[in-house]
């Protein structure tokens, strides 16, 4: 662990909060952020882009009754911060009773423990990063002559934040993330088929001590090559076995968003008012955990200064709780669950997931497959969409196979996985003991994107609709 130094002087933060409160507001918050990023992109054997940037600024939120005022600025001088605080306070339409409220965090500078980063990506020269892209390109092309196109992407960022508010919170975090992805196109008699693989963790350049980019590239290439031999996906309702890892995106989209307190309070969730009720198979325990070591959605504090926590949302099929940010929690007279997140200092925080996963069960994965006479095995899910009010979802199947007489047989392509999240939760009939996290992701909501992780063990849903092209 390492100590996090505040981005702003404590006495300056105290003065800014006092200005934000002087119109009689109920709550004020300062969020400071400093982000450094670098990225590199290879396409068709050439480096297409190589960039780095830095973004610094402060967002100030003021709450007065039911009104919220928000202002942000990249001017970190006292004059710029005071002006932003005044603008946010005016937008919140405080009563202006003339009272002065002060916030005092004490004389000691806060010390917050953040994750230790062994190799800062910013200390690695660009040539080394480009070299990884070239290695991946060569390894993918060497896999088979049918690989006609390769793209690879490297990215890293370091995000330091400071959160202070009128409740006396003063905390910071230092977050680093590193990512590498490879995409391949294979050409054959069935046309062009694609395969991709991504690795990413909340660690530094030591990511590449854990993963071999050449093996990652070969895996992406093999996925594309396998699909050249794939047959069209079937159409109809079948048992579906979802493999470990990437299937977590289904629960993130189809169930996770519906368990976010802001959507629940708006009546835009099928899980509204159902705490204490059986909403899933007794085999299902669904968790959101911002404390998972190294995972993509990990942090020490959320973007409102609350500690990251492990939150059990559904336990043995029973809905236990929702995810909460600070604002929604205040209105309910309860504590935040550490799920207040924002894309940047330019955005207001909202309820967001972190690392969301289905806990492992007791079944052997081979036994789960052996128990299906005719169905589909989904090894990797792609992107999808969901209606949070109804729970209806559609996801692309990136890699999938037929199950025939309890055995994996032909690969299939061009299929969609269609169903209803709440019904799928009830229809889970087996959960494996082979839990894995999937690829790193960016979750979009109301125009904001934040890094998230998700994962599952092997599981079997007794009936989902396959939208394929086979007759």
Q: How far apart are CA 34 and CA 159, in angstroms?
A: 6
What are the distances in angstroms from CA 189 to CA 225, 228, 229, 410? 12, 8, 9, 17
**Would you state the structure tokens that stand for residue 147, as one six-digit string?**
């690989």
Evaluated on CA atoms 416, 418, 421, 427, the torsion sign reads negative
Q: What is the pLDDT of residue 4?
A: 52
Q: In tens digits, what is the pLDDT along the chain, a chain of 471 residues?
A: 455 557 999 999 999 999 999 888 999 999 999 999 999 999 999 999 999 999 999 999 999 988 999 999 999 999 999 999 999 999 997 554 434 444 555 444 444 456 789 999 999 999 999 999 999 999 999 999 999 999 999 999 999 999 999 999 999 999 999 999 999 999 998 789 999 999 999 999 999 999 999 999 999 999 999 999 999 999 999 999 999 998 999 899 888 999 999 999 998 999 999 999 999 999 999 999 999 999 999 999 999 999 999 999 999 999 999 999 998 998 899 999 999 999 999 999 999 999 999 999 999 999 999 999 999 999 999 888 888 888 899 999 999 999 999 999 999 987 899 999 999 999 999 999 999 999 999 999 999 999 999 999 999 999 999 998 875
Q: Residues with Cβ < 8 Å from 79, sequence gap 6 or more? A: none
Q: How far apart are CA 330 and CA 274, in angstroms?
A: 21
Contact predicate 70/91, CB 8 Å: yes
Three-class secondary structure of residue 31 per DSSP: strand
State the maximum Cα–Cα separation within the chain, in Å, rounded to a whole number.
78
Closest C-alpha among 417, 414, 469 to residue 227 = 414
Q: What is the pTM of this model?
A: 0.93
Q: Where do the domains of the chain lie, and which CATH numbers do they carry?
A: 2-38+51-114 (no CATH), 121-158+174-228 (3.30.2290.10), 235-467 (no CATH)
Question: Alpha helix locations (H) across 25-117?
Answer: 78-91
**Burial bucket for residue 203 (CB in 10 Å: 0-12, 13-18, 19+):** buried
């Amino acid at each position: 662990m390492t100590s996090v130094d505040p981005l702003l002087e404590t006495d300056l933060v105290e003065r800014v909060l006092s200005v934000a409160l002087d119109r009689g507001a109920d709550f004020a918050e300062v969020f400071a952020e400093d982000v450094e990023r670098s990225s590199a992109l290879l396409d068709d054997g050439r480096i297409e882009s190589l960039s780095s940037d830095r973004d610094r600024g402060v967002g100030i939120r003021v709450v007065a009754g039911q009104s919220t005022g928000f202002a942000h600025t990249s001017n970190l001088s006292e004059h710029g911060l005071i002006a932003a605080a005044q603008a946010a306070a005016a937008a919140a339409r405080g009563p202006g009773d003339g009272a002065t409220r002060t916030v005092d965090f004490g004389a000691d500078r806060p010390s917050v423990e953040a994750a230790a980063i062994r190799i800062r990506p910013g200390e690695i020269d660009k040539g080394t990063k480009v070299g990884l892209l070239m290695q991946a390109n060569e390894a993918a092309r060497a896999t088979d002559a049918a690989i006609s196109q390769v793209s690879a992407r490297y990215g890293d960022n370091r995000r330091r934040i400071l959160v202070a508010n009128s409740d006396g919170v003063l905390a910071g975090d230092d977050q680093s993330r590193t990512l590498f992805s490879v995409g391949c196109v294979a050409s054959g008699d069935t046309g062009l088929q694609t395969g991709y693989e991504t690795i990413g963790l909340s660690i530094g350049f030591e990511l590449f001590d854990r993963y071999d980019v050449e093996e990652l590239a070969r895996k992406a290439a093999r996925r594309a090559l396998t699909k050249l031999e794939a047959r069209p996906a079937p159409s109809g309702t079948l048992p579906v076995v979802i493999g470990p890892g990437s299937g977590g995106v289904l629960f993130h989209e189809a169930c996770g968003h519906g368990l976010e307190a802001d959507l629940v309070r708006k009546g835009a969730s099928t899980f509204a008012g159902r705490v204490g009720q059986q909403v899933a198979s007794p085999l299902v325990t669904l968790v959101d955990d911002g404390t998972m070591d190294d995972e993509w959605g990990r942090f020490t504090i959320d973007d409102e200064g609350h500690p990251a926590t492990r939150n059990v949302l559904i336990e043995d099929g029973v809905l236990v709780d929702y995810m909460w940010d600070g604002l929604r929690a205040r209105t309910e007279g309860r504590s935040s669950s550490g799920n207040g997140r924002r894309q940047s200092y330019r955005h207001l925080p909202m309820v967001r997931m972190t690392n969301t996963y289905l806990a492992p069960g007791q079944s052997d994965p081979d036994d789960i497959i052996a128990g299906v006479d005719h169905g589909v095995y989904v090894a990797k899910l792609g992107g999808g969409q969901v209606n949070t009010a109804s729970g209806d979802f559609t996801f692309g199947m990136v890699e999938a196979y037929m199950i025939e007489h309890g055995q994996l047989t032909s690969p299939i392509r061009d299929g969609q996985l269609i169903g209803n999240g709440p019904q799928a939760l009830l229809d889970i009939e087996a959960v494996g003991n082979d839990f894995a996290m999937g690829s790193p992701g960016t979750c979009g909501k109301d125009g904001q994107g934040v890094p998230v992780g998700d994962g599952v063990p092997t599981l079997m849903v007794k009936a989902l609709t396959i939208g394929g092209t086979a007759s």
